[in-house]
């Protein structure tokens, strides 16, 4: 890869969100554990509050070492969705103001996706409008809204607004709807997250989100989640079931190819199948920093054996075009 890399899957934990979570006595919340502060994002599910989540100097040093020129920041799970509807919009606004100030301090190195209070859809659409005026490059939402599916009609206003503004919407996992079946071993991040994001985007597409908004830019986390491996089965079963096509008049794969995705998978055969389905123009470098090691993703891209044009598109070209980034 020549030149700098644009990382579209890079997590940041704003202090305003930390403060709001610390005030909660129910999940999700931030609490003190024997080894330090913990984010409890669902029943039995925790991860440590890592310095790299919020330390800007550490992030800049890591980006330099990893060859990442620019990071498009997205806010850590659990976001603002789990707060009461009366509180979510104000928390999202404060978080976005903090992110805007952060980006303005390093405009050549950082961009950001807005956080949205999806539990209050009209307020979420209004916040997306405001964020666009502040220079945000898109929005990160989660695969369910505190247990509600994204294809509920009340959320349409958010997707309609994103399409009108031309801003990408990044769908990231959260505490999954299938939590009860994957609350063991490491099944939550290995299976639960990917099942939740795949289900969320399938419901959106079969529900007609692209029929209403053909130009909508949806980004699905984790190398297309399960879609590249299941797309043949998806088309086959949709044709067999009288209700399998939902709102579509074409096979599901035709709409699924409109998605964008990242490179987060650390398994070269899976990344090759991701490119084979979506095409090299719809796959962008993502590290999942600081949870995963960017070096592993870079090594996976090398191992996958893509040609130079595809590598350059994945490294930066696709992200710059989709998110409207300079360079």
pLDDT for residue 101:
98
Residue 1 banded pLDDT, cuts 50, 70, 90 = low
Say if 46 falls within a structural domain.
no
Report d(CA 98, CA 82) in Å as an integer.
20
CATH at residue 212: 3.20.20.140
Give 34-56 pLDDT, tens digit per residue. 878 999 998 888 889 999 999 99
Instruction: Please check whether residue 69 lies inside any domain of the structure.
Output: yes
In a domain, residue 31? The reply is no
238-267 in b/e form (b: 16+ CB < 10 A) is beeeeebebebeebbeebbebbbbbbbbbe
Rg (CA), the chain: 19
Distances in whole angstroms, Cα of residue 57 to Cα of each of 3, 14, 87, 184: 22, 14, 31, 36
CA–CA dist 42, 120 (Å, integer)? 21
C-alpha 138/C-alpha 132 separation (Å) is 8
* Average pLDDT over the chain, rounded to an integer: 96
| Full residue range of the structural domain in which residue 130 is found | 5-14+52-323
Is 19 part of any domain?
no
User: Total structural domains in the chain?
Assistant: 1
Is 34 contained in some domain? no
pTM: 0.97
Examine the pLDDT at 267 and tell me if it is beyond 90. yes
Domain assignment present for residue 311? The answer is yes
């Amino acid at each position: 890869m020549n030149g700098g890399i644009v990382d579209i899957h890079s997590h940041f934990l704003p202090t305003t969100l930390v403060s709001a979570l610390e005030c909660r006595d129910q999940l999700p919340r931030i609490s003190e554990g024997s080894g330090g502060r913990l984010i409890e994002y669902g029943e039995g599910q925790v991860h440590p509050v890592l310095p790299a989540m919020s330390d800007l100097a550490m992030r800049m040093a890591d980006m330099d070492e990893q060859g990442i020129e620019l990071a498009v920041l997205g806010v850590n799970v659990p976001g603002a969705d789990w707060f009461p509807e009366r509180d979510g919009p104000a928390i999202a606004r404060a978080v976005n103001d903090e992110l805007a100030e952060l980006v303005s301090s390093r405009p050549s190195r950082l961009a950001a996706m807005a956080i949205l209070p999806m539990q209050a859809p009209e307020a979420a659409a209004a916040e997306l409008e405001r964020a666009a005026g502040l220079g945000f490059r898109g929005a990160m939402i989660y695969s369910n809204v505190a247990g509600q599916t994204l294809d509920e009609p009340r959320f349409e206003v958010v997707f309609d607004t994103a399409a009108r503004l031309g801003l990408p919407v990044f769908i990231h996992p959260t505490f999954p709807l299938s939590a009860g079946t994957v609350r063991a071993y490491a099944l939550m991040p290995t299976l639960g997250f990917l099942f939740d994001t795949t289900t969320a985007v399938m419901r959106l597409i079969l529900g007609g989100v692209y029929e209403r908004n053909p130009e909508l830019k949806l980004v699905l986390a984790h190398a297309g989640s399960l879609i590249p491996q299941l797309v043949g089965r998806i088309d086959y079963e949709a044709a067999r079931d009288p209700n399998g096509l939902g709102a579509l008049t074409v096979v599901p794969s035709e709409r699924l190819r409109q998605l964008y995705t990242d490179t987060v998978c650390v398994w070269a055969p899976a990344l090759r199948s991701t490119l084979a389905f979506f095409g090299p123009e719809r796959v962008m470098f993502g590290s999942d920093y600081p949870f995963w090691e960017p070096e592993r993703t870079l090594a996976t891209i090398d191992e996958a054996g893509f040609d130079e044009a595809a590598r350059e598109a994945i490294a930066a070209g696709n992200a710059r075009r989709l998110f409207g980034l300079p360079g």
